[in-house]
Chain A
Amino acid sequence: MFRQLWKLCCSAKATIVLTSITTLIAVLGSTQAMHNPRLFNTMDSKPLLEWWQLYIQQISYSTVWIPLCSALIGLLWFNTLCCCIDWLCHLRTRWKKSGEYLIHLGFILVVIAYAWGSIYGMRSSNNSIAAGEIIAIPEQAGYFLRLNSFQPQMAPSGRPIDMLSNVTLLKGDHELKTATIRFNHPLTYGDLIILPGSYSQQVVGFSCLLNQQQVELKPGSTIQLSAGASLRVVDFTPDIQSRRGSAGNGALRNPAFLLELKEASHENKSLWYVVRRGAPKQLVAAGFTPQRLAPLYTTYSQLTINRDPGAPLAAAGAIAMTLGILLSLRSFYAKRSRTSGNNKLS
């Protein structure tokens, strides 16, 4: 009974049936992607399990093929594992098949790696960071990323073709790794991978003429006014409406500054300066009459930060498969050369 069950688990027939059914279901299922691109196009943005949990409300009959195929791949994995164990038990007589079984081993490792990454992995895109800024790595407590410099590369047509970001990975205050990342050249550290995604420009303030002098109004800057008063820019928002509750996307709509006025004889005053309405009377009285306002832009690098704990195992699987392919080819041609007398066709 056990022997029969083991034979079934190791059988090539089971492999053929499982691969055929998986292919058929996935071929039919994937055509659903045409009808529901909004759902399926998001599949690469998250690890599979997280995606499934996130979109479970939208999941209908059109996505049933995904768990079905996953279950079939699981069965195929078990079948391949049994074949490998059976081969190891008969290694003395089947060592010539080492190449083929290395491919099996590679498949076993890659499936484990993908499942591991799908459950415990993390994918985060569009992490905006300006030069000199530090951001926390998502879901990695204590890890930070600093952008040292950013340089987009443009084609003669003006289209961006590459993005060079010099970044430093930090653990607390300790620098772990510094690299210049661009397309096909990510920063990798353990199971963490940091890649260029895109870049954007945002308005961070305005430049203006004040008493015939060019000054920059952006958070942190201080302007000396007449009669010993000074003005510190506390904050800037490109859209005061979005700050007061409605949704905003960083576009310049109704820009406003939160300013702090310091006068020798008075207490510090916080005032909103909404650019479209003009400066408040108290600021005008203190000598704040800005002219020829022009927006000040800063460039943000948008980085993709992924973590896949299964990636090293997948690499091991890929190495096993490559070795398996080379050994299989060698044994195939060795076998053919043994029977070369029959090779030439009449």
Chain B
Amino acid sequence: MDINALLLNGCFALYCLSVTLYLAHACLRWSKLQQLAMGTVVLAFSCQTLSLGLRWFAAGYLPVTNLFSTVFFFSWALGATYLYFEWRYRLASAGLFVMLLNILLLYIALPRDPTPPALIPMLDTPLFTLHIACSFLGYALFAMAFSLAVLYLIQRKTAALPLPTRNRLQQLNEEAIFLGFCFFTLSMLFGSYWAYVAWGYYFSWDIKALWSALIWLYFAGMCHAKFIRSWQGSGYAWLSILGFALVLFTYLGIGLLMKSNHPLA
């Protein structure tokens, strides 16, 4: 087994272990279990980062040109997002849902061929790397907002889980949406500039580009919704869930169900 396969399987196993530890913490409420779970996530993320770095070094470009590598990068961005929130706010059991999502992404990625294909000249530009990196960081933050929104709705129903307060969850959700919107805006700007130099127009009516613009518009609206009292609380949580559904459909649904000319559809 080569080092990359070892790192890939290792990070998957460690993320699975972290979920088990978070579950145990949710049931038993031993603070040591939470620390252990957090340590496992850090270790898993380190393996994932090392694997990404090695594949980047070997390929000579950020390997995000096939389904394996985009899902893997999405999972890496989700890990980074989770660690950022954990480091800043100590999310406790809130990590459970994000890690479950991460495991699901790795479960989709791992059976696929990890060998990056030869880079075609069309994708050989820093604009592509910036577009993809910002896009997946945005997606990861929207996924984080989705997890926080689900937790907010659970918190309303039950106090059985050791979760942050509802106000805190709402605040963190708003932060995830705002940061996601910032990264997604940058992704759209880099993508538009790349489209202009590659095809001669900065907005395409291709279905994936159109849906990306709609996601941007939707989350722009959400950034305003936090100022409206009647849209706060459950309404905002449901909007976050709907927003993530739009993101998932744009990322996976369009490629699988519709025909798109987008380079990575």
Which A residues form the contact surface with B (CB < 8 A)?
A: 12-13, 15-16, 18-20, 22-23, 26-27, 30, 33-34, 37, 40-41, 43-44, 103, 107, 114, 117, 123, 153, 155, 161-162, 182-186, 193, 195, 304, 306, 308, 311, 314, 318, 321-322, 325, 328-329, 332, 343-345
Q: Which residues of B contact A16 (CB under 8 A)?
A: 221, 224-225, 228, 231
Which B residues form the contact surface with A (CB < 8 A)?
A: 88-92, 118, 120-122, 124-125, 127, 164-165, 168, 175, 178-179, 182, 185-186, 189, 192-194, 196-207, 210-211, 214, 217-218, 220-221, 224-225, 227-228, 231, 246, 258-259, 261
Partner of A161, one of B121, B192, B231: B121
Q: How far apart are the CA atoms of A30 and B214 in the complex, in Å? A: 11
Q: A20-B218, A23-B214, A186-B197 are in contact. List 15 more A-B contacts (CB 8 A).
A: A12-B228, A15-B221, A16-B231, A30-B211, A43-B205, A44-B201, A44-B204, A107-B220, A161-B121, A162-B121, A184-B194, A314-B192, A314-B202, A322-B186, A345-B165
What are 12 A-B residue pairs whose CB atoms fall within 8 Å in the complex? Answer: A13-B228, A20-B218, A30-B210, A40-B205, A123-B200, A153-B121, A155-B118, A195-B198, A308-B200, A321-B189, A329-B179, A344-B89
Are A344's CB and B90's CB within 8 A? yes
Known contacts A23-B214, A44-B201, A123-B200; decide if A34 and B258 are in contact (CB<8 Å): yes
Partner of B178, one of A193, A314, A332: A332
Are A30's CB and B199's CB within 8 A? no
Q: Which residues of B contact A27 (CB under 8 A)?
A: 211, 214, 246
Are A33's CB and B89's CB within 8 A? no
Query: How close is B253's CB to chain A, nearest CB, in angstroms?
Result: 11
Q: Which residues of A contact B186 (CB under 8 A)?
A: 322, 325
Q: How far apart are the CA atoms of A103 and B182 in the complex, in Å? A: 10
Are B228's CB and A195's CB within 8 A? no
Q: Which residue of A lies closest to B249 (CB)?
A: A27
Q: Which residues of A contact B194 (CB under 8 A)?
A: 184
Q: How far apart are the CA atoms of A260 and B258 in the complex, in Å? A: 57
Q: Which residues of A contact B214 (CB under 8 A)?
A: 22-23, 26-27, 30
Are B221's CB and A23's CB within 8 A? yes
Q: How far apart are the CA atoms of A19 and B185 in the complex, in Å? A: 16
Are A184's CB and B122's CB within 8 A? yes
Cβ-Cβ contact count across A and B, 8 Å cutoff: 122
Q: Which residues of A contact B201 (CB under 8 A)?
A: 44, 117, 123, 306, 308
Q: Which residues of B contact A33 (CB under 8 A)?
A: 207, 258
Q: Which residues of A contact B204 (CB under 8 A)?
A: 44
Query: How close is A186's CB to chain B, nearest CB, in angstroms?
Result: 6
Q: How far apart are the CA atoms of A332 and B182 in the complex, in Å? A: 11
Known contacts A40-B205, A304-B200, A329-B182; decide if A183 and B121 are in contact (CB<8 Å): yes
Are B120's CB and A161's CB within 8 A? yes
Are B89's CB and A345's CB within 8 A? yes
Query: How close is B64's CB to chain A, nearest CB, in angstroms?
Result: 17
Are A195's CB and B200's CB within 8 A? yes
Q: Which residue of B lies closest to A47 (CB)?
A: B201
Query: How close is A133's CB to chain B, nearest CB, in angstroms?
Result: 21
- Most B CB within 10 A of own CB, among A44, A162, A308: A44
Query: How close is B136's CB to chain A, nearest CB, in angstroms?
Result: 17
Q: Which residues of A contact B198 (CB under 8 A)?
A: 183-184, 195
Are A184's CB and B125's CB within 8 A? yes
Q: Which residue of A lies closest to B194 (CB)?
A: A184
Are B220's CB and A19's CB within 8 A? yes
Q: Which residue of A lies closest to B206 (CB)?
A: A44
Are B224's CB and A195's CB within 8 A? no
- Smallest CB-CB A-B distances: 3 pairs: A19-B221, A43-B205, A306-B200
- Most A CB within 10 A of own CB, among B120, B179, B203, B228: B203
Are A22's CB and B205's CB within 8 A? no
Query: How close is B178's CB to chain A, nearest CB, in angstroms?
Result: 7
Partner of A322, one of B164, B189, B205, B217: B189
Q: How far apart are the CA atoms of A266 and B193 in the complex, in Å? A: 65
Q: Which residues of A contact B185 (CB under 8 A)?
A: 103, 321, 325
Are A184's CB and B124's CB within 8 A? yes
Q: How far apart are the CA atoms of A40 and B205 in the complex, in Å? A: 8
